[in-house]
Amino acid sequence: MSVPSRSEPMNFIGGEWTRPSGAATLDVHEPATGQVIGRIVESSQEDVDRAVAAAREAFDHGTWGKTSALERSRLLIRLGTLIQREAGRLAEIEARDTGKPASVAKADIVALARYFEFYGGAADKLHGETVPYLNGYFVTVTPEPHGVTGISCPGTIRRRCSAGRWPPRSRSATPRCSSPPRMPAPRRSPWSISWWRRVSRPVP
Is residue 168 involved in binding another protein (CB under 8 A)? yes
Q: Helices 158-171 and 191-200 sit at what angle, rounded to 10 degrees?
A: 60
**What is the C-alpha separation between 118 and 14, in angstroms, rounded?**
26
**Contacts (CB under 8 A) with another protein, residues 78-137:** 78-79, 82, 95-96, 98-105, 111, 114-115, 118-119, 122, 126, 128, 131, 133, 136-137
CB of 109 or CB of 115, closer to another protein: 115
Distance in Å, CB of 52 to another protein, minimum = 4
CB of 109 or CB of 187, closer to another protein: 187
* Residue from the set 55, 73, 109, 159 that interacts with another protein by CB under 8 A: 55
Interface characters, 169-198, with another protein (x: CB under 8 A): xxxx-xxxxxxxxxxxxxxxxx--xx--x-
* Residue from the set 42, 69, 84, 87 that interacts with another protein by CB under 8 A: 42
| Cis preceding-peptide flag for 190 (omega within 30 of 0) | no
Partner residues linked to 61 by β-bridges: none
What's the burial of 132, exposed, middle or buried (CB within 10 Å: 0-12/13-18/19+)?
A: exposed
**What is the C-alpha separation between 76 and 163, in angstroms, rounded?**
11
